[in-house]
A and B are shown apart, each in its own frame.
Chain A
Amino acid sequence: MIPVLVTSGKGGVGKSTVSINLALALIDKGFKVSLLDADLMDPVQHLLFNVNKETVREYGKMLTPINVSLGGYRLEFMGLGPFIPRGVGVALNYEKTVDFLTTLLKHVKWSGDFLVVDCPPSAIDVNKKLFDELRNRARAVVVGEPHIFAFEDNLRMLDMLKFHDIDVRAVVLNKVGLFQEDISKMIEEEYSKLGYKIIRIPWDPALQTGFKPELFKELAEAVVA
């Protein structure tokens, strides 16, 4: 199983959207895919699959992932979202967060060819711990919007990934068309100068609540290559 980290230096840029669409695009390529919502403080993926108030199941001292389906796609899913009450603050400290990530990463019986991990945002301690665990094993996709703040934050994230020997397969410029065009182009050039493959995902309101894996075919190819 190959972990694929979907990361970003800034919150709210569309990591969850990219994660689910990447997962579906990988399924389209014939792979079995598992999806981990590792954004423990703000979990949302379970809402897409309509899994709430789930009871964990255990087999052989491993937790069993939840089998979910979305528009005919089938995948394995796990996260904290389905197991916590709706509307309750997830006030986890660093130790508890890392402990949960350990459970979800190492003590779930994942069986996918790829494990797409929707990471917490920012180059923070929790991500550092996650990258440490997956050093030399994981591939990564960095998501950013084409504007200055997201670019600056992603520089920090890219550095942290590089430091932990995580193989960055692409930078996804998300919501292209929503921001000033000249700045978008300038940012794209800056990423290219750094040597990263750029994949542009156009702004599409339908992606807020739906999915269009066909837009993520190129990203899936970059991840698999």
Chain B
Amino acid sequence: MSLRLKLLEILPKLVKLGLCKFNDLLKEFPDATSRSALLVLYDSKGNKLAFWIGFEGSSPKVVEVDLKNPPRATNEISMHIDTFIKILKGRLDFRTAYLYDLIDIESHDGLPSSYHLLLWSAFFDKVADLLKK
């Protein structure tokens, strides 16, 4: 099954997230607008799908990008598509996934990777809250 087809499994959740503006999160993290990330999802066959997540002004933006020529991002987070789906379905905690090496984070801005990890954790906490509603 292709990565895109796999993502359809959680399409309603992705649509729900797309409709959110994350304003509450921005209140907690005023510096988030200067940050961007590459989210790389892969499968067991080595196929990859990448998204750039960042801000245009104060509005969050998510676009699919070509990994051969990726736009600049302050950090890169990669995980197996199944891990991503489990997290969004609420079956796996994001931090647990990181602690058990299911998620990899690379920093591109000089800050430690764990700094980004802690911010990503806060982001996924918010995502989990939004999806529960």
A-to-B contact residues, CB < 8 Å: 55-61, 63, 83-85, 88-92, 96, 99-100, 102-103, 107
B99 A92 Cβ-Cβ under 8 A: yes
Interface of A is mostly: loop
**Contact (Cβ within 8 A) A91 B99:** yes
Bound Cα distance from A149 to B122, whole angstroms? 42
Interface size on B, as a range, is 20 to 34
A211 to chain B, nearest CB (A): 28
Q: Is B56 an interface residue (CB 8 A)?
A: no
Determine how close the nearest CB of chain A comes to the CB of B90; give it in whole angstroms: 13
Chain B interface SS verdict (over half): helix
Task: Please name all residues of chain B whose beta carbon is closer than 8 Å to the beta carbon of A89 when the two chains form the complex.
Answer: 99-100
Partner of A91, one of B100, B115, B122, B125: B100
Can you list 13 contacts pairing A with B, beta carbon distance less than 8 Å? A56-B118, A59-B31, A83-B95, A84-B95, A85-B96, A88-B96, A91-B101, A96-B113, A96-B114, A99-B112, A99-B113, A100-B114, A103-B111
Check B119 for interface membership: any CB of A closer than 8 A. Answer: yes
Closest CB of chain B to A52's CB: distance in Å? 12
Are B31's CB and A55's CB within 8 A?
A: no
Q: How far is the CB of B110 from chain A (nearest CB, A)?
A: 10
Q: Report the bound CA distance from A76 to B93 in whole Å.
A: 27
- 1/0 per residue B75-116: CB within 8 Å of A? 000000000000000000101100111000000000111110
Write out the residue numbers on chain A whose beta carbons fall within 8 Å of the beta carbon of B55.
none
The reply to whether A85 and B31 form a contact with Cβ atoms under 8 Å apart is: no
A88 to B102, CA, bound (A): 14
Excluding A85-B96, A91-B99, A92-B99, 10 further A-B contacts by CB distance (< 8 Å) are A55-B122, A56-B118, A56-B122, A58-B29, A59-B31, A84-B99, A85-B93, A85-B95, A89-B100, A99-B113
